[in-house]
Protein backbone atom coordinates (compact mmCIF):
# COMPACT_ATOMS: atom_id res chain seq x y z
CA UNK A 1 0.00 0.00 0.00
CA UNK A 2 1.35 3.38 -1.04
CA UNK A 3 0.91 6.59 0.97
CA UNK A 4 -0.38 9.56 -0.96
CA UNK A 5 1.11 13.00 -0.41
CA UNK A 6 -1.86 14.80 -1.95
CA UNK A 7 -4.61 16.30 0.21
CA UNK A 8 -7.95 14.58 0.22
CA UNK A 9 -10.74 15.77 -2.04
CA UNK A 10 -12.99 16.24 0.99
CA UNK A 11 -10.53 18.64 2.57
CA UNK A 12 -10.27 20.58 -0.70
CA UNK A 13 -14.05 20.88 -0.94
CA UNK A 14 -14.22 22.05 2.68
CA UNK A 15 -11.60 24.72 2.04
CA UNK A 16 -13.47 25.73 -1.14
CA UNK A 17 -16.72 26.20 0.76
CA UNK A 18 -15.06 28.18 3.55
CA UNK A 19 -13.35 30.48 1.06
CA UNK A 20 -16.56 30.73 -0.96
CA UNK A 21 -18.36 32.31 2.00
CA UNK A 22 -15.56 34.86 2.36
CA UNK A 23 -15.60 35.52 -1.40
CA UNK A 24 -19.32 36.21 -1.48
CA UNK A 25 -19.01 38.57 1.48
CA UNK A 26 -16.22 40.45 -0.32
CA UNK A 27 -18.21 40.63 -3.56
CA UNK A 28 -21.33 41.83 -1.72
CA UNK A 29 -19.33 44.52 0.06
CA UNK A 30 -17.78 45.63 -3.25
CA UNK A 31 -21.14 45.82 -5.03
CA UNK A 32 -22.65 47.70 -2.07
CA UNK A 33 -19.81 50.24 -1.94
CA UNK A 34 -19.94 50.89 -5.69
CA UNK A 35 -23.73 51.24 -5.53
CA UNK A 36 -23.59 53.65 -2.60
CA UNK A 37 -20.89 55.72 -4.30
CA UNK A 38 -23.00 55.87 -7.47
CA UNK A 39 -26.05 56.88 -5.47
CA UNK A 40 -24.10 59.64 -3.72
CA UNK A 41 -22.66 60.83 -7.03
CA UNK A 42 -26.12 61.23 -8.50
CA UNK A 43 -26.66 64.14 -6.11
CA UNK A 44 -23.41 66.01 -6.66
CA UNK A 45 -21.94 65.04 -10.04
CA UNK A 46 -21.23 67.78 -12.54
CA UNK A 47 -19.87 65.42 -15.20
CA UNK A 48 -16.40 67.02 -15.32
CA UNK A 49 -14.42 65.18 -12.67
CA UNK A 50 -14.32 61.39 -12.30
CA UNK A 51 -17.05 60.20 -10.00
CA UNK A 52 -16.61 58.42 -6.70
CA UNK A 53 -18.36 55.38 -8.15
CA UNK A 54 -15.69 54.89 -10.80
CA UNK A 55 -12.99 55.27 -8.16
CA UNK A 56 -14.74 52.77 -5.86
CA UNK A 57 -15.24 50.36 -8.76
CA UNK A 58 -11.56 50.61 -9.69
CA UNK A 59 -10.51 49.85 -6.12
CA UNK A 60 -12.95 46.93 -5.88
CA UNK A 61 -11.79 45.59 -9.24
CA UNK A 62 -8.15 45.62 -8.14
CA UNK A 63 -9.08 43.99 -4.83
CA UNK A 64 -11.10 41.19 -6.44
CA UNK A 65 -8.64 40.52 -9.28
CA UNK A 66 -5.70 40.59 -6.88
CA UNK A 67 -7.50 38.23 -4.54
CA UNK A 68 -8.29 35.86 -7.40
CA UNK A 69 -4.69 35.77 -8.58
CA UNK A 70 -3.14 35.47 -5.12
CA UNK A 71 -5.48 32.93 -3.56
CA UNK A 72 -6.26 30.98 -6.72
CA UNK A 73 -2.64 30.93 -7.84
CA UNK A 74 -1.42 30.06 -4.36
CA UNK A 75 -3.82 27.16 -4.08
CA UNK A 76 -2.82 25.94 -7.55
CA UNK A 77 0.84 26.14 -6.49
CA UNK A 78 0.01 23.95 -3.49
CA UNK A 79 -1.60 21.44 -5.83
CA UNK A 80 -5.15 22.14 -4.68
CA UNK A 81 -6.95 22.35 -8.01
CA UNK A 82 -10.55 22.46 -6.77
CA UNK A 83 -10.17 25.43 -4.37
CA UNK A 84 -7.87 27.23 -6.81
CA UNK A 85 -10.40 26.93 -9.61
CA UNK A 86 -13.24 28.05 -7.34
CA UNK A 87 -11.27 31.11 -6.24
CA UNK A 88 -10.38 32.12 -9.79
CA UNK A 89 -13.94 31.68 -11.06
CA UNK A 90 -15.81 33.29 -8.17
CA UNK A 91 -13.53 36.27 -7.61
CA UNK A 92 -13.06 36.74 -11.36
CA UNK A 93 -16.83 36.71 -11.81
CA UNK A 94 -17.18 39.21 -8.98
CA UNK A 95 -14.65 41.48 -10.69
CA UNK A 96 -16.70 41.31 -13.89
CA UNK A 97 -19.86 42.12 -11.93
CA UNK A 98 -18.30 45.17 -10.29
CA UNK A 99 -16.85 46.43 -13.58
CA UNK A 100 -20.23 46.09 -15.27
CA UNK A 101 -21.81 48.12 -12.46
CA UNK A 102 -19.23 50.85 -12.98
CA UNK A 103 -19.95 50.88 -16.72
CA UNK A 104 -23.61 51.48 -15.97
CA UNK A 105 -24.82 48.04 -17.02
Residue 64 belongs to domain spanning:
13-40+51-102
Asked whether residue 46 is domain-assigned, the answer is: no
Residue-wise pLDDT tens digits, 10-26 = 888 888 899 999 999 99
Asked whether residue 45 is domain-assigned, the answer is: no
Closest Cα to residue 75, out of 3, 2, 29, 11?
11
Report the number of distinct structural domains present in the chain. Answer: 1
3 against 100, higher pLDDT:
100
Asked whether residue 3 is domain-assigned, the answer is: no
40 against 23, higher pLDDT:
23
89 against 39, higher pLDDT:
89
Asked whether residue 98 is domain-assigned, the answer is: yes
- Above 70 in pLDDT, residue 74? yes
pLDDT of 89: 94
Confidence of residue 4 (pLDDT cuts 50, 70, 90): low
pLDDT of 3: 60
46 against 105, higher pLDDT:
46
Asked whether residue 7 is domain-assigned, the answer is: no
Asked whether residue 33 is domain-assigned, the answer is: yes
Amino acid sequence: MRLRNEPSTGRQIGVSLALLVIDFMLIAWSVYSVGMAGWADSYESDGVVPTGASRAASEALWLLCGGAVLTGGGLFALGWRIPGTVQLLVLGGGALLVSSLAAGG
